[in-house]
Structure formats: structure tokens, C-alpha cells
Structure 1
Amino acid sequence: MNTHEKRTSNKINIAYIGGGSRQWARKIMSDLIIEESISGEVRLYDIDTKAAKKNEVIGNMFNNLPGAKTTWHYKAVHTLKDALEGANFVIISITPGTIEKDMYSDVHTPECYGIYQAVGDTVGPGGYIRALRTIPMYIEIANAIKDYAPDAWVINYTNPMTLCVRTLYQVFPQIKAFGCCHEVFGTQELLMTALNEELNLGLTDRSQIKVNVSGINHFTWIDEAFYKDIDLIPIYTQFANKYYDHGLIKEEHRGDPFKNAHKVKFDLFRRYGVIAAAGDRHLIEFVPQWYLKNESDQEKWIYWLTKVERRINSLRNKNQETNDIIAGKKELTISPSGEEGVQQIKSILGLKSFVSNVNLPNAGQIPWLPKGAVVETNAVFKSGSVKPVQTGNLPLNVQNLVLQHAINQEALIHAFFNQDKQGIMNIFANEPMVKRLSIEESTELFNIMIDNTKAYLPEWLLH
């Protein structure tokens, strides 16, 4: 559709915090440009102003691409205030610290103590140290939203998801924020694969698979799954048993940490009768005693650790790709991301009704987790509201697994806001990956990791 053929649409303002993103920004730009019912301005704020400026150029290039159905004006700004004033929606997607130094320490320093992590951004020693430098950033962001865009809807994509969203509400209880994660989408796709294999339906749209989601981010569970009136749990039972021994993965994907063989997911289902709804590389960090005791567990459970060197190389490649697109050496194309942020925005604007899994404070939607803790369930999106769906109970053994992590996360928030360093050290030592160490070893590891990322930490944590 040519520019002069684009339809009149609802105009909105979006503040993008982390607007220099090499990954999420391009996804959101693609999704926005093909949604003809909304248009407007996206203000890009990032501490890396040069990266935000490059995204400004690329974002505006999307308007002239074949397939563009609307028009968006992208503008890099220098302050949070400039980004937020007048914003209807706020998108947060930041990298807390550097990948080369801070995330490298998060993931690889614990290896000196025999602790291996598959991701290192949610739980485990890496996830908790990442949280400690992320929380101060989110305190600043929450205060800025409170001052300059108190009525805006806030969508968070940053990890650790639970603690990011929890911090926003701790600072600004009236904030309208929710966190989005695509891990459940992958499980819907797996259920669709099982259904297609059983009934040869040829389904390609995962949204046709309706699931009941319950848990916390990256440790969610599904106890009900349907396609129309077909109960998918019996079909999944056969599917999990069939592929349990060797996993389900294409040969060319072996060795890729971002691909799943699902063997851990199948094992958890056989144990508990409910479906763990995240990728194996996340699940194993919540129950490391079974799947992540040492590096050799990768072979048994068919997963691969995400080495930070891979992330560094990926960042380097994305930077080069950005430069090549701006220079005209590489073609820019519209590529729908499969994420649901734009559909959520449309629903809040009253243009449709929509159900999606999101992270919100627990107001009773999961009765067995602490009130106020950030939990992940389905929610109904419609004009001006996002209402979580009550999930009911999971098996008690599963509740126990989830509860210990939810309590640790809540305890970390309370200790941080009370400037209780000893309390934080106790939580760190009690983390399932760390508790194998002596108290002296866990204290030593904590202090080394804190020192490695001290540039982003408050003074009270450094003494």
C-alpha cells in the first residue's frame, strides 16, 4: 500500500525506553507499520543516544516500505521527560548494564564455584545480581512515569520480568503496567504440533490453542489446553511419552541454545501431569537440582548453555546490520514478530477484545501465591482495562516449586527497598543454584559478583 493510500487511523504517542535496542525495536517497528488502525509518534530514549538516533532513521524508513499500512514518526530524544510527556503508552526494553562485562560476570563468574546457568537473567546467582542493578534503573523509570505520564499504559519486556514489574508498582502503585513474555507462545506451538501429528489438521496459528496459564515468569504452567472442544492434555500425554527419550528437535538445531528439544518439559509433565510452559533453558534454572547440577547435564537433557560470548557476537552482528541498513547496503524488510504488544495496545484503545498471558501483581488471580507478588496468568484486554483471569490451583507439588521462587523474589524487593544488604545476601545464599555452597562460599561469590557490577549499584550495597 503506498503512503497516499494509507487509511486514517487512531493517533497515539509511544515512549520507548531503551529505544536504541538492536532487537526489540525492529520487531515493534515491523508490527506497528502493518497495523492500519493506529499511527502516531514513537519517541526513542536510550542512554546510548547514538543507537537511538540510528533507530530513528530506521523507524522512519519503514514508512516507505512495500506493505506499510500506516505512518509512524520516530524521534530520538535526550531525556526521559522528553520521551514520556504526552505518551499514551510506554514500552520498556533495556539492557541493564553491559553484556561484555556485567552479563558476562552474571553468567560465568559462578562457574568458578561449579554453578552453571543456562540463561542467567531471571533466577540463579546471575538473575539476582542482574536484578540488583536493574531495580535502581526501574526506580528512576517509575518515578519519571509518575511525574510525566501517570496515565500511560506501560509494557515491560526487560528481564528479570517479575522484579522489573514489581519495582514499577512498588514505586508507583497506581501505575498501569504489565509485563510481556513469549515463552508461553512456544508451548502453544508445541501443543499445536502434537495436535497436528495426532489428527493431521495442518494448523499454523498458535492462537487457536487456548490455554490456562498459571505461575511466575519463565516458570509458568498450563493445566488446561483446548483446540475448540478438543482436550489437548491426553494428546500431549501421548506426545510427551513418544518423544521423551530422544527429545524433539531437528538435527540442524542441535547445539543452538535458543532451540528446545523439550525433554525437560516432557519430564516435568510426566512427574506432575501439568505442562511447564517455558523453554527448557529457563525451566532448568528453577529446578537445577534435577537438570543443571553440572555442565554434563546438557547431554542427558538435550539443551545447551547460552554462553555470553554468543550474545557478544550477536550484538556485534546486529550493530553491523543496523549500519548496513542505514547505508543502503542491506535491505530493510517488514517482518511480523509474533509478539502481541501491538494487539494489546489496540485492545486497550477499544479496537478489539483480546486475551494474552501477562505479568501483573497478584490480586487473587493465583490464590496460592502471595498477594501483590507479580505473577503470570492470562488477562482480558479491552477498552481501557487489563483484567487478570483467575487460574485456580495447580498440583500441590508444583505450587511448592513455584512458591519458593515467588517468596525469594518478594523478599528481594523488600530487602532492597529497606537497604538490607544482609537480607539480600541471605536470599542469594538460599537460591536453589547457590544453596549447595557453604555460607562462606556463597558470601564470597556474592561479593565478587557485586564488585564486578558495582558501577550500577547503590552505595549501601557496596560496603
Structure 2
Amino acid sequence: MKKGIKIVTIGGGSSYTPEFVEGLIMRYKELPVSELWLVDIEEGKDKLQIVGDLAKRMVEQAKVPMEIHLTLDRREALKDADFVTTQMRVGQLKARIQDERLPIKYGMIGQETNGAGGLFKGMRTIPVLLEIAKEIQDLCPDAWLINFTNPAGLVTEALLRYGAHPKVVGVCNLPINTRMTIARLLGVDVERLHIDFAGLNHMVYGLDVKVDGESVLPQVLELMGDPEQQVSMQNIAPIPWEKEFIKSLGVIPCPYHRYYYKTSEILQKQLEEYQNGGTRAEVVQRLENDLFELYQDENLKIKPPQLEKRGGAYYSDAACNLISSIHNDRGDIQTLNVRNEGAILGLPVDSAVEVNCVVTKEGPEPIHVGELPVAVSGLVQQIKSFERVAAEAAVTGSYEKALLAMTINPLVTSDVKGKQLLDEMLEVHQEYLPQFKGQIQHS
């Protein structure tokens, strides 16, 4: 009989892995993981070894009986797993740099999970994740697939709509990050704070904020309109919100909403960075190099604090809390990407939404929200249309669907330039887009 819990992390050579390992160590009593398998591909072999060695030192230092296994053989790792987490980057950071630089060249925002960059990251990633879902169904059909790979909303949409494995949840650290930040702004313990989140991944809104069950939404909106008190993330410029706008919106936007409500300001900032030879991807590349340098130090036996600059704060909380709640049948509330099932009226019942859920051993059950406020429902609908068409393009390799997805995204501001950008990005990323073979226009 199998003892303990077996977790498989695909993309195990990621710089985020020590954060996840720390989360598992801290929760060992409630979540007795006996095996953690870190899986990567040939190109990530060296990073896997470095991260794996650090993970082994961390576990040894903490004196928890968790075996760390490193492998490039996904099928070997997946056999009899209880949970599978995915945190991959198809094409690695080199592809992300193109996702960010090419749209800027055409005068549009370049970002890895939004706009044209998000479309291409999704189209490279979805076929690989659908293959993994098939293997999970074959080798560990009872396992939960917990996807952290961005763009998480689009990827979860594709897994739910086209995947062979039904037990899928998308996870993002943004809701936890927002909750922690707002608790800090209010000066209250985070356990006393509750936010009603609803929308899509990176397009989620806080519909209400309660402290000890009492709404404090007006106070939070007031704080968010203060240029000194900004809710943002490492990878998004903290351009202040206008007080009047936040008050009239009446709900809490997430940091990614700046791409949609402050498009020209963000674009201006990106153009300046582009002209000076830098994008966020290139900053991340430097941070990654520094982190892997640190990880190689044999005296390092904990997660280094420098990892927080990478933008993944609370990543382990999001992933580990979910796994622990399913394992322990906890029945607590978490914000997750799941099938809508009527939780948000006006969005397809079979589409992925990001919403508060009650988490038990049966998995997450979305909490009914009803209709989104008029002020925000249109933008959410538009992004969901984009995700639906983009997922279809990724699965079918249809040039027409890819062009349609590109053009209906609000961050792609011209159909002519959008087509030119699509053609150039298809050519640049063709190695990772086999489904589009024969449809790529060579310049």
C-alpha cells in the first residue's frame, strides 16, 4: 500500500520551485508528501539539477522525510501521482522576450499573458498541456492537475474544453497577493479580511471587501485612489489609479487591469524601455541568472529572499493551500480558475472563470456570484471571447482563428498591424507551433 502523498511538478527546473518546496516543508504535518518528482525537458536539464539539489538540501535541513526525484521522463514520474502541478514555459525565456518585444515594435503593448504575447504563449503551451492531460488520464486518473502555467485563464479554458482529464484547476498568486496588500493597507490581520473575487484570470475584480464580515469597500476604494498606496506586482508598472475613476468603478481592479484602463501610459513606458534595450523579460532573465548562481551555493539550504523579486510572491501559498484543502477536505474558500457552472451569469457555463470556491476532497465548487456589474462585464466578455477563439486556434492550428483571436483582443489596436504582427510572430515561434505548419508566411 502506498504511503504518503506523491506530487509531480512539471517544469521542475523553474526558479519558482524552491518557493513550492518551502511551502510543502512548512505544511508537512497537514500534508505529508513522501515523494516530490521534479520533471523537466532536455534543454532544462542543468537548471533541474541545480534546483533539485537545492530542494534536497532544503528537505534535509528541515528534517522532513520527503524524497526528491529528478527526471526527464514524464511518464515515469506521473505513475500513481496524487497531484500534478504544471509551471512551464514552452520556448523558455527566449520566447518570452519575443512575446514582449515584437508587439512593441508594432506600437502595441508587449506582455506575456495579455494581448498578442499572451496569445502566442497560450498557443505554444496548450498542445503540450493537452498531451500531459492525456498522460495523467492514462497513468494517474485520480490525480488533480493544478496548472500554474500562464496565461492561466486561457490554458485552463483549453484544458477544460479540449482536455482528456477532467480534474483540472488553474491557480494564480494574484488574488492572495491582492488580499495581503489590502490587509496591509487597512492595517488588519489578513485572516480577518475576505474579498469576493470574480472575473477571469488577470481580469478578476474584487466585488466587495469585508473585515470581520462587515463591508469596508468604500474605505478600500479610497485607499486605492491614493497615489502613495498602490496595489501592484513586481512585473507591472505601479502607475497610480485616478481617485475618481476607482470610486466610480465601484469595484477593485487587479494590477493587470492597468493594461486595459491605462493602455497609452503603459505603452509609453514600454516604448521607452524598448528604446533603451530592455523589456520585463530581459529583467527576468538577469534575475534568473542571479538566482541560479545563488542556488548553486552548497551552503544554501533555504529559499533565498531574492526570489521574491521574480514576481512570484505567495505562489507556494496558492498551490500548497489548494493541495492541502483537497487532501484534508477542508471546505475553506479559495480563488481559483474552474469551470463556471453558472457561478457568473452571462458567461458560458462550460468556460473557465476565476472565482471564489469552496474546496473539499471533491475539488473546488464555485460560489454563485450572479451578474457582474455593468461597468466591468463588457470587458470580461470581450476577454472571454478572445480566450475561446485563442484556445480553438491553439488546438486546430487554424490561421483564421489565430487572426480572429489576435484582432478581437483589446490590446491589439489595428487589424492591419495585427495581421502583420501575427505573421511575424508565427514565423519567429514556428519551432514551438507545429500545429501551424504550412500556414506560416515567410518574409
TM-score, structure 2 length as denominator?
A: 0.87
1:30 aligned residue (22, 34, 48): 22
Verify the 8 A CA contact 2:201 2:353 in the aligned structure 1: yes
Q: For residue 194 of structure 2, what is the aligned residue in structure 1?
A: 210
Paired residue type of 2:418: S
Does structure 1 conserve the Cα–Cα contact (< 8 Å) formed by 2:137 and 2:164?
no
Residue 221 of structure 1: how far off its partner (Å): 0.7
CA deviation after TM superposition for structure 1 residue 87, in Å: 0.1
Shift of 1:400: 0.5
Secondary structure (helix, strand or coil) at the match of 1:275 reads coil
Residue 404 of structure 1 aligns with an amino acid whose one-letter code is Q
Match of 1:107 in 2: 100
Contact 1:356–1:379 (CA under 8 A) maintained in structure 2: yes
CA displacement at 1:57 relative to structure 2: 2.0
Instruction: Select 1:273's aligned residue among 232, 240, 250.
Output: 250
Q: Which amino acid aligns with 2:429?
A: T
Greater shift, 261-270 or 32-41, is seen at 261-270
Name the SS of the counterpart of 1:158 in structure 2.
Answer: coil
> What residue identity is the alignment partner of 1:31?
G
Give the Cα–Cα distance (whole angstroms) in 2 for the partners of residues 344 and 260 of structure 1.
29
How many Å separate the matches in 2 of 1:130 and 1:379?
Answer: 27
Select 2:388's aligned residue among 410, 413, 431: 410
Helix, strand or coil: the match of 2:129?
A: helix
Letter paired with 2:280 = K
1:12 and 2:5 matched: yes
Q: 1:147 aligns with which of 117, 135, 138?
A: 138
**Which residue of structure 2 lines up, in the alignment, with residue 332 of structure 1?**
302
Aligned partners of 1:142 and 1:171 also within 8 Å: no
1:285 — aligned with what? 259
C-alpha contact (below 8 Å) 2:85/2:146 kept by paired residues: yes
Secondary structure of the corresponding residue to residue 344 of structure 2:
coil
CA RMSD of aligned residues (A): 2.8
Q: Deviations over 1:326-378 (max 9, x none)?
A: x33x4535889632322222221125332110001211111121222211001
8 Å CA contact 1:178, 1:359 repeated in 2:
yes
Partner of 2:167: 176
Match for 1:352 among 330, 334, 338? 330
Give the secondary-structure state (helix, strand or coil) at the position aligned to 1:264: coil
Question: How far does the alpha carbon of each residue in 1:248-273 deviate from its partner, in whole angstroms, 9 at most, with x for none?
Answer: 269xx9xx954764623856522311
Contact 1:162–1:374 (CA under 8 A) maintained in structure 2: yes
Give the TM-score, by structure 1 length.
0.84
Segment drifting more, 143-152 vs 87-96: 143-152
Q: Distance in 1 between matches of 2:435 and 2:259?
A: 29
Question: Structure 1 residues 172 and 124, CA, compared in 2 at 3 Å: closer, same or farther?
Answer: closer
Cross-structure match for 2:117: 126
In the alignment, which of 357, 363, 367 is matched to residue 341 of structure 2? 363
Would the alpha carbon gap of residues 271 and 215 (structure 1) be closer, same or farther in structure 2, given more than 3 Å must change? same
CA displacement, residues 430-458 of structure 1 (integer Å, 9 cap, x when unaligned) = 221223x2x33221111111111111002
Structure 1 residue aligned with 2:280: 307
**1:306 Cα shift?**
5.2
Work out the CA distance in 2 between the residues paired with 1:262 and 1:434.
21
SS of corresponding position for 1:44? strand
Answering whether residue 368 of structure 2 is matched by residue 390 of structure 1, we say yes
| Fraction of identical pairs, as percent | 23
Find the residue that maps to 2:209 and give its secondary structure. strand
Question: What is the CA deviation profile of residues 152-210 of structure 1, one whole-angstrom value per residue up to 9, with x for unaligned ones?
Answer: 011111101012212222333542111111112232233323432xxxxxx3x424211
| Alignment counterpart, residue 444 of structure 1, candidates 407, 412, 420 | 420
Q: Distance in 1 between matches of 2:107 and 2:138?
A: 45
Structure 2, unmatched stretches of 5+, are none
Contact kept in structure 2, 1:40 and 1:72, CA below 8 Å: yes
Q: 1:268 to 1:134 in 2, by over 3 A?
A: farther
Contact 1:34 / 1:70 at 8 angstroms: preserved in 2?
no
| Distance change (3 Å), C-alpha of 1:182 and 1:267 | farther
- In 1, Cα distance between the equivalents of 2:68 and 2:265? 45
Instruction: Give the one of 290, 310, 326 matched to 1:317.
Output: 290
The unaligned stretches of length 5 or more in structure 1 are 1-8, 197-202, 300-304
CA contact under 8 A between 2:124 and 2:394: conserved in structure 1?
no
2:127 alignment partner in structure 1: 136
How big is the shift at 1:385? 2.6
Q: Which amino acid aligns with 1:419?
A: G
Larger displacement relative to structure 2 (47-56 or 403-412): 47-56
Counterpart of 1:455 in structure 2: which amino acid? Answer: E
User: Could you tell me whether the CA contact under 8 Å between 1:179 and 1:358 is conserved in 2?
Assistant: yes
Contact 2:344–2:372 (CA under 8 A) maintained in structure 1:
no
1:302 matched to which residue of 2?
none
Deviates more, 1:414-423 or 1:354-363: 414-423
* Aligned equivalent of 1:295: 269
Count of matched residue pairs: 422
Relative distance call for 1:433 and 1:63 in structure 2 (3 A) is closer
